[in-house]
């Protein structure tokens, strides 16, 4: 088959499935909705495998599908760029999406919005594929916003829940703040490069390395710094970097399958993908890279802390996602783009696994999400238990598992980085290892080991989880036991557990050390040598795994696991005592550093106050009150006759107007 038709088929097959399930969601039976969408995504996955093999054989592609619009000297096109970076993303997206589609059959079986849900996740797959396959900034922005739309629809999937419809609006608006920067960045690219086509822009980029623009007064700013920071603000929104991270924890209001697909594995990594794609631009500005590494480091460490105190199983995983996104961003800042993509890939597998396993636990617990009500689940849910353990071990960086290779590579690369902020970032990612291990195994122990705390009369789970959604009865009744979930749920867990174990070992050689990304990701090794220094010490995947046992990250992770075991299995009184002892810190963490409160008060509240002030003061007070009605009164005062015109019959006014016109015409004709 013609490869170009195959490229086209990859996004269109899920779109077609989404249209069948979506447009006819009220008439078609459930089996048709899931068959159509799963078939679409399966086709996309199979085609992605073919494309991947073709790309590995050296056949890349950069071409136009159709001309979207021309204006002035600018041409805007819809087109595809197929190289190793795209092919990697396509595989990850379609594979995880396929797993999530299958899983959804089990997870959503009681939900009346079944068909609609399948339509949305297929539409998401289409949007995400358009994003990663884009060969220009316009289409990138297209996919960027389209995934945002689907995320909005899915977070608010249960549209009668007040928390869900608040969370989805919040997610969209915070993302829009990011897009605000992003579009300015795109505008700067178009204004200075005259094109939005990646290839053209990247080719011209080195010529602009020392270009400056005048932003304020006579101060000259580096063009590339301003452009890259604007673009990165977009990435901060989508990839939930501090301070635009606030939407991601709330996005857990959506059904669990989409938390796995969108808010962990794929969409939130779009920012990481974008910066990697733009590596020829970011490499030209060390200032921008410093900005990136600092933001990433803050996110990696401080969001990890929040994971420690969460009691909602999904929120623990969500903060873990934030922290891991911070790791990827740190890698970007250290110019280790290939490592960031590598971590993106391994993370996609084990985080999707952890989320889907969390969803499996939630089903087993009858939609109780509070880990304080769980415990000892390993007896009742063996497959979920084992796969969760694998996912957690991969996440904390156990040697030879997937997360180890990618995370250790990040830590090593940062160690060798010398850009401003790298020292702080190194500290943050090292400390983060301990924090990650601690919160991951806190959750693991509380859920799967220890005393069985479920089935009690009084379980104090958060009030907002047992609200009105009629089809979801919450929590286990007294005496009721959790149960393992059906095969459609456990099969994806098993299939995701496999890459969570092996993909790091397989991938690190070619993706990080090899020339897999040659010609795709550009690193200025002279200016930013961190990655090449790391690679001088790299002697194959096996050696790296063995070497790990003598490095700090391993012992930090081990310490985290042991400490969480000690705290939550042996001496549960200690964490409670710490909470009391350090009440101020605890309050700070429980309020998530007050980001939400500040945003709601300053930005949301401020906007409403300002809007009211402008409306009542400006429009109603000054413009209408003084000027419009004032002149009306003036007219009335000057000539009481005018009162006759205020008859309330509009045709009088209309008639007056015509008369006025005629009078004027007559006056003027007489003059002429």
Tell the smallest beta-carbon distance from residue 173 to another protein (Å): 6
For residues 333 and 324, give the distance between their C-alpha atoms in angstroms, rounded to a whole number.
14
Q: Tell me: does residue 165 bind another protein (CB under 8 A).
A: yes
Q: Tell me: does residue 91 bind another protein (CB under 8 A).
A: no
Cα-Cα end-to-end distance for the chain:
78
Per CB under 8 A, the list member of 69, 577, 602, 663 interacting with another protein is 69
For residues 520, 521, 522 and 528, what is the CA-based torsion angle, rounded to 10 degrees?
A: -170
Tell the smallest beta-carbon distance from residue 240 to another protein (Å): 17
How many CB atoms are closer than 10 A to CB 82? 25
Query: Tokens representing 516?
Result: 């897999």
What are the distances in angstroms from CA 535 to CA 168, 417, 514? Answer: 42, 13, 10
Our CB check for another protein shows the closer of 15 and 303 to be 15
At 301, give phi and psi (nearest 5°): -85, -50
Three-state DSSP state, 449 = coil
Tell the smallest beta-carbon distance from residue 645 to another protein (Å): 9
Tell the smallest beta-carbon distance from residue 285 to another protein (Å): 17
Residues 6+ apart with CB under 8 A from 551: 408
Residues 380-419: x/- map of binding to another protein (CB under 8 A)? ----------------------------------------
Q: Are 356 and 257 in contact (CB under 8 A)?
A: yes
Q: Are 327 and 343 in contact (CB under 8 A)?
A: yes
Residue list 625-664, contact with another protein (CB under 8 A): 627-628, 631-632, 646, 648-651, 653-654, 657-658, 660-661, 664
Per CB under 8 A, the list member of 3, 8, 32, 68 interacting with another protein is 68
Our CB check for another protein shows the closer of 577 and 614 to be 614
Residues 214-253: x/- map of binding to another protein (CB under 8 A)? -x--------------------------------------
Q: Tell me: does residue 132 bind another protein (CB under 8 A).
A: no
How many CB atoms are closer than 10 A to CB 210? 10
Residues 6+ apart with CB under 8 A from 224: 205, 208, 209, 211, 281, 284, 285, 288
Residues in a beta bridge with 79:
64
**Cis before 243 (ω within 30):** yes
Q: Tell me: does residue 669 bind another protein (CB under 8 A).
A: yes
For residues 461 and 370, give the distance between their C-alpha atoms in angstroms, rounded to a whole number.
6
Our CB check for another protein shows the closer of 192 and 474 to be 192
| Span near another protein by CB under 8 A; candidates 519-527, 545-553, 565-573, 612-620 | 612-620
Per CB under 8 A, the list member of 28, 149, 498, 535 interacting with another protein is 149
Count interface residues toward another protein (CB under 8 A).
70
Per CB under 8 A, the list member of 623, 626, 639, 659 interacting with another protein is 623
For residues 122 and 124, give the distance between their C-alpha atoms in angstroms, rounded to a whole number.
5
For residues 666 and 21, give the distance between their C-alpha atoms in angstroms, rounded to a whole number.
67
Tell the smallest beta-carbon distance from residue 432 to another protein (Å): 31
What are the distances in angstroms from CA 538 to CA 181, 216, 332, 543? Answer: 38, 46, 19, 8
What are the distances in angstroms from CA 440 to CA 58, 353, 389, 500? Answer: 40, 13, 10, 16
Tell the smallest beta-carbon distance from residue 116 to another protein (Å): 9
DSSP letter for 25, please: T
At 555, give phi and psi (nearest 5°): -70, -30
Per CB under 8 A, the list member of 4, 53, 59, 67 interacting with another protein is 67
Per CB under 8 A, the list member of 176, 453, 533, 547 interacting with another protein is 176
Tell the smallest beta-carbon distance from residue 138 to another protein (Å): 8
Per CB under 8 A, the list member of 2, 31, 72, 581 interacting with another protein is 72
Q: Tell me: does residue 162 bind another protein (CB under 8 A).
A: yes
Tell the smallest beta-carbon distance from residue 671 to another protein (Å): 10
| Span near another protein by CB under 8 A; candidates 185-193, 269-277, 308-316, 372-380 | 185-193
Q: Are 391 and 357 in contact (CB under 8 A)?
A: yes
Strands 61-71 and 74-82, sheet pairing: antiparallel
Three-state DSSP state, 68 = strand
Tell the smallest beta-carbon distance from residue 665 to another protein (Å): 9
Query: Tokens representing 662?
Result: 């005629």
Q: Are 506 and 500 in contact (CB under 8 A)?
A: no
Residue list 465-484, contact with another protein (CB under 8 A): 468
Residues 316-335: x/- map of binding to another protein (CB under 8 A)? --------------------
Per CB under 8 A, the list member of 5, 29, 59, 74 interacting with another protein is 74
Chain residues that interact with another protein, rule: CB under 8 A: 26, 66-74, 138, 141-142, 145-146, 149, 152, 156, 159-160, 162, 165-166, 169, 172-173, 176-177, 179-180, 183-184, 186-188, 190-191, 213, 215, 468, 607-608, 610-612, 614-615, 618-619, 623-624, 627-628, 631-632, 646, 648-651, 653-654, 657-658, 660-661, 664, 668-669, 672
């Amino acid at each position: 088959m013609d490869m170009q038709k195959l490229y086209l088929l990859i996004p269109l097959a899920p779109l077609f499935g989404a249209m069948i399930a979506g447009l006819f969601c009220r008439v078609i039976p459930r089996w048709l909705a899931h068959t159509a969408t799963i078939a679409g995504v399966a086709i996309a996955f199979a085609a992605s495998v073919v494309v991947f093999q073709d790309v590995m054989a050296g056949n890349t592609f950069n071409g136009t599908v159709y001309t979207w619009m021309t204006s002035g000297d600018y041409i805007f096109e819809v087109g595809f760029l197929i190289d190793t970076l795209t092919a990697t993303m396509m595989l990850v997206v379609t594979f995880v999406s396929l797993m999530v589609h299958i899983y959804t059959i089990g997870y959503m079986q009681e939900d009346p919005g079944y068909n609609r849900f399948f339509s949305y996740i297929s539409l998401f797959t289409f949007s995400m594929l358009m994003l990663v396959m884009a060969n220009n900034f316009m289409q990138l922005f297209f996919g960027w916003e389209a995934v945002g739309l689907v995320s909005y629809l899915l977070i608010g999937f249960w549209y009668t829940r007040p928390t869900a419809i608040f969370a989805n609006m919040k997610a969209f608006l915070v993302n829009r703040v990011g897009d605000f920067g992003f579009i300015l960045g795109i505008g700067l690219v178009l204004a200075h490069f005259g094109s939005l086509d990646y290839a053209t822009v990247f080719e011209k980029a080195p010529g602009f390395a020392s270009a400056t623009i005048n932003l304020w007064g006579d101060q000259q700013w580096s063009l590339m710094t301003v452009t890259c920071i604007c673009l990165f603000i977009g990435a901060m929104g989508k990839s939930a970097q501090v301070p635009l991270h606030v939407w991601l924890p709330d996005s857990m209001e959506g059904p669990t399958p989409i938390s796995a697909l969108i808010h962990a594995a794929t969409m939130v990594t779009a920012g990481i993908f974008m910066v990697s794609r733009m590596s020829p631009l970011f490499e030209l500005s060390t200032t921008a890279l410093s900005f990136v590494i600092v933001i990433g480091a803050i996110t990696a460490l401080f969001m990890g802390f929040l994971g420690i105190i969460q009691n909602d199983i999904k929120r623990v995983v969500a903060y873990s996602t934030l922290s891991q996104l911070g790791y990827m961003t740190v890698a970007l800042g250290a110019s280790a783009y290939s490592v960031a993509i590598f971590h993106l890939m391994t993370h996609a597998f084990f985080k999707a696994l952890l989320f889907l396993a969390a969803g499996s636990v939630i089903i087993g617990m009858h939609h109780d999400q509070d880990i304080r009500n769980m415990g000892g689940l390993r007896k009742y849910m063996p497959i979920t238990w084992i796969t969760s353990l694998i996912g957690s071990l991969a996440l904390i960086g156990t040697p030879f598992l997937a997360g180890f290779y990618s995370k250790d590579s990040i830590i090593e690369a940062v160690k060798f980085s010398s850009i401003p902020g790298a020292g702080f970032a190194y500290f943050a990612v090292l400390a983060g290892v301990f924090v990650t291990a601690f919160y991951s195994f806190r959750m693991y122990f509380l859920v799967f080991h220890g005393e069985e705390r479920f089935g009690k009369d009084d379980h104090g789970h958060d009030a907002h989880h047992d609200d009105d959604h009629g089809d979801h009865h919450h929590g286990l009744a007294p005496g009721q036991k959790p149960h393992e979930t059906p095969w459609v749920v456990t099969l994806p867990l098993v299939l995701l557990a496999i890459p969570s174990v092996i993909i790091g070992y397989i991938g690190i050689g070619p993706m990080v050390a090899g020339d897999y990304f040659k010609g795709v990701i550009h690193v200025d090794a002279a200016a930013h040598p961190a990655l090449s220094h790391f690679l001088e010490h790299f002697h194959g995947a096996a050696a790296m795994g063995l070497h790990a046992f003598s490095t700090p990250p391993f012992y930090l992770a081990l310490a985290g696991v042991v400490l969480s075991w000690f705290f939550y299995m042996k001496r549960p009184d200690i964490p409670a005592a710490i909470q009391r002892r350090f009440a101020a810190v605890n309050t700070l963490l429980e309020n998530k550093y007050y980001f939400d409160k500040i945003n709601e008060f300053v930005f949301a509240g401020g906007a409403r106050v300002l809007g009211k002030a402008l409306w009542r003061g400006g429009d109603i007070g000054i413009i209408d009150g003084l000027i419009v009605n004032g002149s009306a009164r003036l007219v009335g005062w000057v000539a009481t006759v005018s009162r006759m015109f205020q008859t309330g019959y509009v045709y009088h006014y209309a008639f007056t107007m015509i008369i006025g016109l005629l009078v004027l015409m007559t006056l003027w004709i007489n003059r002429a």
